[in-house]
Structure 1
Amino acid sequence: MSLASLAHPRQDFSYGFLDAFAKRELRRRMLKAIAIPGFQVPYASRELPIARGWGTGGLQVTLSIVSPTDTLKVIDQGADDSVNAANLRRFIARMTSVATTTDTLAATVIQSRHRVPEERLREGQVLVLQVPDPEPLRQVQPDSSRAREMHADADYAQMWLTLYEQLVRFGRFMQGASYPVLVHGRYLMSPSPIPRWDTPALHQAAHLTLLSAGREKRLYAVPPYTDVRPIEFEDVFFQVENMAGRICMLTGARNKFMDELPVAEGGSQFRLSDTGYAAKLLRRARGDAATLGATYFDDEGHFYQPGVIRAE
């Protein structure tokens, strides 16, 4: 027996980049967040080889839960090929040896910046959302200590007053991305700066959603099959963005979330925001094999759960 045979094999870095203590702490915080849906749990956000504000919160969560048997998908504003998505995917794959994909149906862990994929997520999948500002009350209460007291008392009157003022001044809700939602009938939550189009997708979803803000050192979660209701009045309902009449310039798809692209001659063209879904539509149009999953909104623009969007 030699000393070398008793020693651990050489490791140039810890699996998943983060040390074992950091990953253990993050997993414990995630368990608490899952146990109290919508509640912001503080954690010790670690330094990473990317700047804060570029997805460090979501990256730490992903590195803590991903395993070599997982399949990873990373998107930025719906795109798999953006600089941010490509760099995060390359880094995670290098640190964990995880397989990667652009297919939502094939992924077990999906890290996203500001979008939920068009295809419905299923049980066993985990959606990790990057969050720049986890506090939904910041616009009405900049004092974080007072905001935490308001969460403890479920005192959200100032947020309701803000919505009322928007209706009086503009005739409609002006809150765009990051529309505040009430989770499990208790905590007001910011669902990351996802568009209003994606907000209903969190309601009674089959998948687990983990949201993390590395700069603010806060994470929170929406467990599977949990109520996530956008705040609205009894006579003025929450509405998603109007995509009626918009046709994808590449695939011809309708009633899906589109990116608007200005053209030199004036006017605009539209393109599917979810590039992975668009690629599958193009493959199917060419006659190639492509498995399309059910989407949150059908081709007529109706949400798959009747009654969730009461404005329909």
Structure 2
Amino acid sequence: MSLSDLAKPWAAMSYGFLDASAKRELRRKMVKAVAVPGCQMPYASREVPMARGWGTGGLQVSLTLINPKSVVKVIDQGADDSVNAASIRRFLARVSGAMTTTDTLTASLIQSRHRIPEEKLSDNQVLVLQVPNPEPLRPVQPNMSIARQMHADADYSRMWLQLYEQIVCSGRVMQGASYPSLVNGRHVMTPSPIPRWDVPKLHMAEHLTILSAGREKRLFAVPPFTRVEPLVFDDVPFQVEDHADLSCYRSGARGFFMNEIPQDDGTSQYELSDSEYGVKTIRDREGDPVRFGETWYKNGKFS
């Protein structure tokens, strides 16, 4: 027997692109993040074939979790066919051999930017959210050393003051995306740049959510059946975007989160943000057999 017989055959790259040590570190940090919901965990963000700020954090988590039996769905602001979503989906498939899909119900691993699908996720699905800025205290405390001490002391008074000032000046909370939310009654997190419409979907959800920022080298998690409560005052309740009465001009779907499309005459048309749910609605209207999943919202009201 020679040394070449004992050696592993040469391969151009590790399975799933990342080397084994990188995956081990990410798995350890993800386990810690699940154990302490909402708490940011630092990790050594590796280089991937994508520019920083375009989803490298979510991509690294997906590359760590993926396996040949995975079914991958990638969306960008609700769309499966955007350039960024299509590129990430194709890359994940090439380096892992996993199948890809656009159907939320058949996916086991969902990587998303800015949106959570309208159809409810189950306990056998993992949602990976790309996060540009994981630190909710940065707008009120730019010094990260002090911000981490504030997290340790559960001192979020400056965030409450910021929300109060918005109410006094504007009559309502002006915070749109990345609404600060208290996780498991302890840590305040920024739930990615998802709209307020999607924040209630994280509360006591059946699925695991992992949020990762590659540029900032931080990740945190929301385990299944964990309380996620937006910061609100008792006399000023949390409100989502008022999209209940809007209809999609393509599919006719109503009561879901919409994208506004300005027209040349100054008016606006609205299109369903979750592109796959819109496609399902159109196919169902045309008589094709389609399987719909239960949705988080019904007639614009969270169920």
TM-score w.r.t. the length of structure 2 is 0.98
Q: How does 1:82-121 map to 2 (within 5 A)?
A: 82-121=82-121
- Distance across 2 between alignment mates of 1:292 and 1:264: 35
**What residue is the counterpart of 1:302 in the other structure?**
301
Two-structure CA RMSD over aligned residues (Å): 0.9
Q: Could you tell me whether the CA contact under 8 Å between 2:244 and 2:301 is conserved in 1?
A: no
Residue 133 (str. 1) matches residue 139 (str. 2) = no
Q: How far is the alpha carbon of 1:268 from its aligned partner?
A: 0.4
Q: Which moved more, 1:49-58 or 1:259-268?
A: 259-268
- Distance across 2 between alignment mates of 1:52 and 1:192: 16
Q: How far is the alpha carbon of 1:37 from its aligned partner?
A: 0.1
State the secondary structure of the residue aligned to 1:69: coil
Q: How far is the alpha carbon of 1:301 from its aligned partner?
A: 1.4
Q: How does 1:1-312 map to 2 (within 5 A)?
A: 1=1, 3-298=3-298, 300-304=299-303
- Distance across 1 between alignment mates of 2:42 and 2:169: 37
State the secondary structure of the residue aligned to 1:22: helix
State the secondary structure of the residue aligned to 1:106: coil
- Distance across 1 between alignment mates of 2:255 and 2:137: 32
Q: How far is the alpha carbon of 1:96 from its aligned partner?
A: 0.5
- Distance across 1 between alignment mates of 2:140 and 2:8: 54
Amino acid at match of 2:97: S
Q: How far is the alpha carbon of 1:263 from its aligned partner?
A: 1.3
State the secondary structure of the residue aligned to 1:86: helix
- Distance across 2 between alignment mates of 1:12 and 1:69: 22
- Distance across 1 between alignment mates of 2:128 and 2:161: 31
- Distance across 1 between alignment mates of 2:2 and 2:287: 61
Amino acid at match of 1:296: W
- Distance across 2 between alignment mates of 1:100 and 1:187: 34
Q: How far is the alpha carbon of 1:3 from its aligned partner?
A: 5.0
Give CA deviations for 1:174-211 in whole Å, capped at 9, x if unaligned: 00000000000000000000000000000000000000
Amino acid at match of 1:9: P
- Distance across 1 between alignment mates of 2:4 and 2:169: 74
Percent of matched pairs sharing the same residue: 64
Number of positions where the alignment pairs a residue of Structure 1 with one of Structure 2: 303
Unmatched 5+ residue regions in structure 1? 305-312
- Distance across 1 between alignment mates of 2:231 and 2:302: 17
State the secondary structure of the residue aligned to 2:297: coil
Unmatched 5+ residue regions in structure 2? none
Q: How far is the alpha carbon of 1:266 from its aligned partner?
A: 2.1
- Distance across 2 between alignment mates of 1:125 and 1:245: 30
